[in-house]
A and B are shown apart, each in its own frame.
Chain A
């Protein structure tokens, strides 16, 4: 109950230096915004504002294209 009412602050608005890290080459940083299955975590869960969530989603899709990030991870294989 308490969690649903907590206000989250966007990490990119708190720390402006992080905005440079939204790049497909920084795949280790972008992995924070993926679930274990490889899905993109929605902004309302991570607290990222809509503006930066759009950028993150684009860069993750680029990184997937060049095999730096997975499209899908099958938990049964691990």
Chain B
């Protein structure tokens, strides 16, 4: 038993529910051949470097497993005959490159659609925080202006008095 990984591109028109069924069916086909799953990572929708079957986008799925090497040809044939899989690549990997601490498949697939809503919410929140900050800045500016205006006359009056006394004294000395 050796470690392998296969990356396959699923048709982008598949919805999250059907995509999950397809991923699980591919996993089942591996189990029927006597393999074991190690990790499943859904990369999400990505732009292809070149169109495959006239499709410009595809859902990338990375599937790492443990299997008898002889039976990989059968597994690859299953992917080949699946009409929803645009392309696939199976390679041998070392056991230390296996991904760990991945979230469950449901959360990985569920994150693809609600993520957009969450990002929108976060955008709104950012906007609101920006507005709050702007309001605070404007308030502080007003307060500072008021302080300056309130402080300024006192200082000016004192200065005026001082200058007046100085002028008076100067004039007296001159006399």
Contact = CB atoms under 8 A, between A and B. Distances in A.
B91 A68 contact: no
A66 B63 CA distance: 14
A43 to B, nearest CB: 23
Interface in B42-61: 48-50, 52, 58
Contacts of A66: 7, 9, 87-89
B50 A71 contact: yes
A69 interface: yes
Contacts of B52: 67
Nearest to B89: A66
Main secondary structure of the interface of B (DSSP, over half): strand
B8 to A, nearest CB: 8
Interface size class of B (residues with CB under 8 A): 10 to 19
A67 B50 contact: yes
Interface string B87-98: 111010000000
B91 A67 contact: no
Contacts of B9: 66-67
Interface in A41-77: 62, 64-71
A9 B166 CA distance: 79
Contacts of B62: 25
Interface in B8-25: 9
Contacts of A65: 87, 89
B50 A62 contact: no
A67 B49 CA distance: 5
Contact of B58 (A24, A25, A62, A67): A67
Contact of B49 (A24, A25, A62, A64): A64
A35 B125 CA distance: 42
A64 B58 CA distance: 15
A36 B152 CA distance: 66
Contacts of A64: 49
A55 to B, nearest CB: 13
Given A25-B62, A67-B58, 10 more contacts: A25-B7, A65-B87, A65-B89, A66-B88, A67-B9, A67-B50, A67-B52, A67-B87, A70-B49, A70-B50
Interface of A: 24-25, 62, 64-71
Q: 8 closest A-B pairs (Cβ-Cβ)?
A: A70-B49, A67-B48, A66-B89, A67-B49, A65-B89, A69-B49, A66-B7, A70-B50
